[in-house]
Chains A and B, each alone.
Chain A
Amino acid sequence: MSAPLAGLRVLDMGWVMVGPVSGRYLADLGADVVKLESARRVDPLRTLGPFKDGKPGLERSISYHNLNAGKRSITVDLKDPRGREAILRLVDWADVVIESFSPGVLETLQLDYPRLAARNPRIIMVSTSLLGQTGPHARGTAGVGTMGAAMSGASLLLGWPGHAPCGTYGPWTDSVAPRFIVPSVLAALHRRRSTGEGCHIDVAQAEAGIQFLSPAWYQYAANGTVPQRRGHAGSPLKAPEGIFRCAGQDRWIAIDASAGGAWRRFRTTVGGGLLDGAFDTLIGRLRGREALERMIGQWTAPQDAAAVEQLLQAAGVPAHVVSSASDLAADPDLTEGHYRRIDDPVVGEAVIEGPRFRLARTPTCETRRGPRIGEHTQAVLRDICGYDDAAIAAMQEAGILR
C-alpha cells in the first residue's frame, strides 16, 4: 500500500525550520515536495550544525537533511519575471504552497495569495511568520523562533525564582508551529475534496506556542495568577516526583513515585529510611518532602543513572534518565525504532530522524536524504513546468537558476 498522501503535490518555499518541517511531514506521508532554494541567499539551515564529523559545509548540515528529507530542491530567482513565471507554473501544479517569508515580501514579489489563487483557485497556501500576516505588530517582526518563544510566554517560564529566566532550548516555536500548520492543511484538503475550495492559512508561530501553554493562560485568565518560573522539576502536589543526581558529571534520573502503587514499589526497592511509617501516606510524604527527597538523593548519588532507570522500571516505577545528547544517540528505543540511515554523495552515511508515528495500512515513506542545492532544478523545470531544454538553457544563461 502506498503512503497516505501519495500523489499530493507541495511547493515548499519555506526556509530554516517551520516551513521545511511542515514540508517534511508531508514528504514523509508521501507527497511530492519541491523545495525552492537559492544558491545566492542560502537557507541558513545549511550553515547551522550539526555537520557530519563537525566539518562545516553547505552540503554537510545534518540538520538540513533532517528537516528536508525526501524533498527535491530547485533554485530559481524570484525577482526575475522569468523566474516568477516558473514558480507560477509550479503553483499550477501544486495542491499546497508553504511560505515563511517576512510578511509583505511575497506581495512585493507579486506572488501573494490573491495572485496565486487567481492562477490556481484550488491552491491551499500556508503563510507562517512569528506574529502572522495581520495585526499592528506583524510587519517588522521577523526573526527566529527564540523570539517566538519569548512572545508566547514560554521563555519566562523556564528558570529559577529570583534569577534571570533561562529561556527555552533554542527556537522552541519552530518545533510547535508545524504541529498546527500540518493539521490545518490536511483539514483544508479534506474540505476541498467536497467543495473544491482552496484557502489561505496564516499561522503565527508565537500564537502556536501559546496553544502548548494554554493551561497557563487559563490560570491567569480564570484565577488572575500570572504563572512564573519555578525551577524545581515535578509538581508541588506530588511526592516524590522530581529529578535526582546520579554518579558522574551532570547525570540525573527523573522519578515519579507519588501515586500509591508506584510509591509502594519504589520504597520496597530503595528500602532504608523510605520505610519510615511517616511516608506511608501521601500527606506524610508531602509534609516530609525535604527529608524524603534528601534520602532519595543519597540513594541515587553513587549510582549509575541508567542502572537506576532499569532497576526502577523493572519494579514498575516510572523513571527515566534525564537524557543528554549522548544518551539519545545510544538509547535502544531510538536506535532500533527512530534513527534512520541515509546515504548521501557528499556526507556519506549519516543518521537522521524518522517519522514520529506509524500508520499500519499506508506506511510513511522510507526516510531519504535531503537534496543538494538546486539538485532537481532541471528536472522540475522540464517535467513539471514544461520548459524545453533550450528554454532551460536560456534561463541558466541569464543567471536565473542560481
Chain B
Amino acid sequence: MLSDVRVIELSAPPTMMAGRILADLGADVIVVEPPGGARGRRLEPFLDDQPGLERSLTWQALNRGKRAITLDLDQDDGRALLADLGRGAALVLEADASVPMRFPETVVRCRITPFLSTGAKADYAASDLIVMAASGVPGITGHPDRPPLFYPVPQSIMEAGAEAAIAALAALWARDNDGLGQAIEVSARLAAMMSALSVPIVVPAGNPGLQRAPARQKLAGVSLPGMFACQDGYVLISFAFGPAFGPMTQRLMQWAVEQGCLEARFGTLDWPTAPQQAEKGSLTAADVQAVVDGIAALAARHTKAEFGASARRLGLLAAPLMDMRDIDVSPQYRERGLWSAPVALGPQGPAVADPARFAQFSNYTIDVKRPAPRLSQHTLEVLDKDLGLSPLEIQALFVHGII
C-alpha cells in the first residue's frame, strides 16, 4: 500500500517500531546507522544469550523488512550522502538529537523526543525506564503494598514508534495533497500515557487520586479479584455489572452453579443490578465472599484451554492468561494467519515465525520481505544503485570511515 513511499530511518530505539509499521504496510524503509552500529543492536535479549551486533532479538523483531546502510553523519560526506538520499524520500524518522541538516521541503521529518521539546522537561535526560515512570502506567500497576511494576519489555519505544507512524502517515496524506513536507514532533512520554488510560484525567476532573491495586472493584465491601489460579496457570475473570456486561456475569454464575461450585440462588440472582442490591443490603458481604470462593473453585477445576473454550461457548468476560508458548500453539492465531513465513536470524541463526500480520486486509497481505538487516548489509546496493557512486568512490568512503 505504501510501495511508492521511501522512508529514511535514522535509527534510534524509538524509531524502530515506526519504521517497522511503515515497512509492514509496504514502504521502502532504509535504516541509517553509524559505522559502529545503531543503539538498537545492543538491546537485550540476545540470541542464545550471547551478545553481538547481529544477535539482538529486539533489533531483529523491530527491523524486519527494512534495508540498512552505514553513514557517519559527523563527517561532511556522510551528511551529503544522506541529503542525496533524502531527495528521493517522503519521510525521515529520527529521535533524540536532531541531525543538523536540511532536507528538501517535500520531506516529512518526524522526530521523537522523550518529553515535549518546548516544555518544562525538554532538557531531561531519559531512557525507557524514565519515560515509562513519567507515563503514569507503573504508578498504577501492581499491588499497593509492593513497588510499582514495569513491563519487562521496553514499552516507551513501542508507544512512541507507533504514535510516530500515525503522525507521519497523516503528514503523508497532506503531502499527497500539495506536495509539501513538514516537521513533526512526537513526545514519547505523551505517547506512553495512552496506556495509562483515564489516569491522566482523573484528578483534573475533580476526583481524588488513585491507589495502585490489581482489582479496584468492590461489591458489598468485598474486593473482587481479577486473576484466579487454574490447573495449569491463571485465568482472568471479570465481574461486570450493568446492562451491557452484566449478562456475561450472569452466565458465569449460572455455569458455576451447574458445575456445583456455587449455591443455586446465585445463579438466579439478577447480576446486572448486583451493585444496587448490595447498596440496599439484600446482597451481603458474606454472599459476595461465597461467590468469590465459588468462582475460585470453578477456575481450579479447569485448565487454561478448557476455561477459554467455556468462556467462548458461554460468552463470559473471561480469558486464559497466555504465555508465548500458548500463543505459539493457539489454533486461533495460527489459522487466522498472524504468522509470517519464517524469518532467518542471521546467517547461522535459526528461522522463526514472526507475528507480523497485525491487520488482515481484504486486498493486501503484510509479509516480511526480508529479515532484519545485518550491519551495513545494503550500503553497497544503495550507494551504487540509488546514488550512482562508482566502486572507487565507495571504497574511498570506507577507507575514510564514512561507511
- B57 contacts A165, C-beta separation under 8 Å: no
Would you list which residues of chain B between 124 and 176 have a CB under 8 Å from chain A? 124-127, 129-144, 146-155, 158-159, 162-167, 169-174, 176
Residues of B within 8 A of A294 (CB): none
Residues of A within 8 A of B214 (CB): 166-167
Of the residues B118, B152, B330, contact of A229 by C-beta under 8 Å: B152
Of the residues A44, A170, A318, contact of B242 by C-beta under 8 Å: A44
- A329 contacts B204, C-beta separation under 8 Å: yes
Would you list which residues of chain A between 136 and 182 have a CB under 8 Å from chain B? 136-144, 146-147, 150-160, 164-172, 174-176, 179-182
Residues of B within 8 A of A316 (CB): 125
- B328 contacts A221, C-beta separation under 8 Å: yes
Residues of B within 8 A of A319 (CB): 125, 130
- A140 contacts B312, C-beta separation under 8 Å: yes
- B171 contacts A47, C-beta separation under 8 Å: no
- A233 contacts B129, C-beta separation under 8 Å: yes
- B236 contacts A212, C-beta separation under 8 Å: no
Closest to A362 in B: B174
- A150 contacts B195, C-beta separation under 8 Å: no
Residues of A within 8 A of B103 (CB): none
CB distance from A385 to the nearest CB of B (A): 26
Would you list which residues of chain B between 268 and 320 have a CB under 8 Å from chain A? 308, 311-313, 315-320
- A325 contacts B140, C-beta separation under 8 Å: yes
- A217 contacts B1, C-beta separation under 8 Å: no
Closest to B126 in A: A318
CB distance from A163 to the nearest CB of B (A): 9
Closest to B174 in A: A4
Q: Is A252 an interface residue (CB 8 A)?
A: yes
> Which of B78-86, B259-267, B360-368, B390-398 sits within the interface?
B360-368
- B361 contacts A223, C-beta separation under 8 Å: no
Q: Per-position contact with A for B99-137: 1 when CB-CB < 8 Å, else 0?
A: 000000000000000011011110111110111111111
Q: Is B10 an interface residue (CB 8 A)?
A: no
CB distance from B371 to the nearest CB of A (A): 11
Closest to A242 in B: B129
Given A44-B244, A153-B323 in contact, is the A356-B205 Cβ separation under 8 Å? no
Q: Is A327 an interface residue (CB 8 A)?
A: yes
Residues of A within 8 A of B211 (CB): 250
Q: Is B62 an interface residue (CB 8 A)?
A: yes
> Which of B30-38, B66-74, B178-186, B374-382 sits within the interface?
B178-186
Residues of B within 8 A of A183 (CB): 21-22, 25, 162, 165-166, 169
Q: Is B332 an interface residue (CB 8 A)?
A: yes
Q: Is B355 an interface residue (CB 8 A)?
A: yes
Bound form: Cα–Cα A312–B226 in Å: 38
Q: By CB atoms of chain B within 10 A, which of A138, A160, A179 has the most?
A: A179
Q: How many chain A residues touch B (Cβ–Cβ < 8 Å)?
A: 151
Q: Is B7 an interface residue (CB 8 A)?
A: no
- B197 contacts A171, C-beta separation under 8 Å: yes
- B173 contacts A4, C-beta separation under 8 Å: yes
Q: Is A113 an interface residue (CB 8 A)?
A: yes
Given A144-B238, A186-B172 in contact, is the A325-B206 Cβ separation under 8 Å? no
- B200 contacts A167, C-beta separation under 8 Å: no
Residues of A within 8 A of B318 (CB): 143, 147
Of the residues B202, B316, B328, contact of A325 by C-beta under 8 Å: B202
Q: Is B29 an interface residue (CB 8 A)?
A: no
Q: By CB atoms of chain B within 10 A, which of A135, A172, A218, A358 has the most?
A: A218
Q: Is A367 an interface residue (CB 8 A)?
A: no
CB distance from A168 to the nearest CB of B (A): 7
Q: By CB atoms of chain B within 10 A, which of A66, A184, A197 has the most?
A: A184
Residues of A within 8 A of B138 (CB): 233, 243, 322
CB distance from B346 to the nearest CB of A (A): 10
Bound form: Cα–Cα A327–B364 in Å: 44
Closest to B43 in A: A215
Residues of B within 8 A of A136 (CB): 331-332, 335
Of the residues B47, B129, B323, contact of A254 by C-beta under 8 Å: B129
- A212 contacts B158, C-beta separation under 8 Å: yes
Bound form: Cα–Cα A211–B157 in Å: 12
Would you list which residues of chain A between 320 and 345 have a CB under 8 Å from chain B? 320-329, 331-334, 336-339
The 8 A-B residue pairs whose C-beta atoms are closest, nearest first, are A135-B336, A254-B133, A361-B182, A179-B162, A329-B203, A351-B204, A220-B324, A186-B169
Q: 23 A-B pairs, CB-CB below 8 angstroms?
A: A50-B198, A137-B330, A146-B319, A153-B324, A165-B234, A166-B143, A179-B166, A190-B176, A191-B1, A197-B363, A210-B355, A219-B57, A226-B324, A325-B210, A332-B119, A336-B120, A338-B116, A339-B204, A359-B167, A359-B182, A359-B184, A360-B183, A361-B181
Given contacts A233-B150, A243-B148, A357-B185, 4 further A-B contacts (CB under 8 A): A135-B333, A199-B363, A202-B360, A356-B186
